Amino acid sequence: MAKTALCVGVNNYPGTHMDLHGCVNDAQDWAAELTSRGFAVTSLIDAKATKSAMAKGFKSIVAGAKKGDVVVITFSGHGTYVPDLNGDEADGLDEGLCPYDLQTGGAALLDDEIHAIFATRAAGVRLVLISDSCHSGTVTRAAAPDPDVSDDVPRPRFMPMGNWLPAEQLPRGPSGQPLMRTPQVSGVSAFTKAVSRAAGDLLLSGCQEGPNNYSYDARINGRPTGAFTYYALKALRSLKAGATYADWHAAIHPAYLPSSTYPQSPQIVGNAAARKRKVFT
């Protein structure tokens, strides 16, 4: 059984004034932990985490896996959504992961694209996705950070469409003007569509689905990090031998999250058999 992992972390989003602080640390922390557990790890950090590089990385790690292999992909960065063009989304929006060149390259890595990549994997590959981003927020452009406000203030890892999409591509209301907020937003992880319960996939994400649920960019013990990543790793290191994914999730939520500072509820998505599987096997 081979174990491979891809860890992606993006702090810098040129042209959006929506930079984060803890995502690179997240990716490096996941990479170190997974390496210690026998994984061959590849990382994509900031400028190396372009959309094309992320898509290529996803394709490569999936294509190289055989039956019984374990593949782990972690993503820390902004989530976003875009108007759905093929009519397969009930809320009219496709979720996406935000690469480094989101604004300069003009595109997110969408849930449809991720689903298509993962659909090519060999039968019996055990896929684990770990997402420290969120997909709930406004359409309208967020204001630039206030230089007088401390970086210690938690920030949702969500990129409004208004901060990167051209105005002509934003969703519009009956008046023809861009909407400030969409009426209903599912707020699901961009990985959710890619998860195959029948194949035994697992998704661990930093917050619940739906409106007003966020994964926070945090500063804990003076160090930038994702709140979910920090507590997920802390819980992982405390697990007893033979612990399952369900055990891991229970050690994070509600033991550590939500908290008064980080009001997010991590979720686990997968079938009962997958939840009962030993972590990283």
Going by DSSP bridges, is the β-strand pair 40-45/3-9 parallel, antiparallel, or unpaired? parallel
Question: Is 134 an active-site residue?
Answer: yes
Which burial class, exposed, middle or buried, applies to 28 when counting CB atoms under 10 A from its CB (0-12, 13-18, 19+)? Answer: middle
Single-letter amino acid, residue 36: S
Do the Cβ atoms of 135 and 93 come closer than 8 Å?
no
**What does the alpha-carbon distance between residue 214 and residue 136 come to, in Å, rounded to a whole number?**
7
**What does the alpha-carbon distance between residue 129 and residue 87 come to, in Å, rounded to a whole number?**
25
Three-state DSSP class for residue 76: strand
Question: Is 207 an active-site residue?
Answer: no
- Alpha-carbon Rg for the chain in angstroms: 18
- In three-state form (DSSP H/G/I as H, E/B as E, the rest C), the secondary structure along 246-264 is HHHHHHHCCCCCCCCCCCC
Task: Identify the residue whose tokens are 């050690």.
Answer: 251
Longest Cα–Cα distance in the chain: 60
- Catalytic choice (7, 23, 98, 134): 134
**What does the alpha-carbon distance between residue 62 and residue 115 come to, in Å, rounded to a whole number?**
12
- Catalytic choice (7, 78, 135, 207): 78
Residues acting as catalytic residues: 78, 134
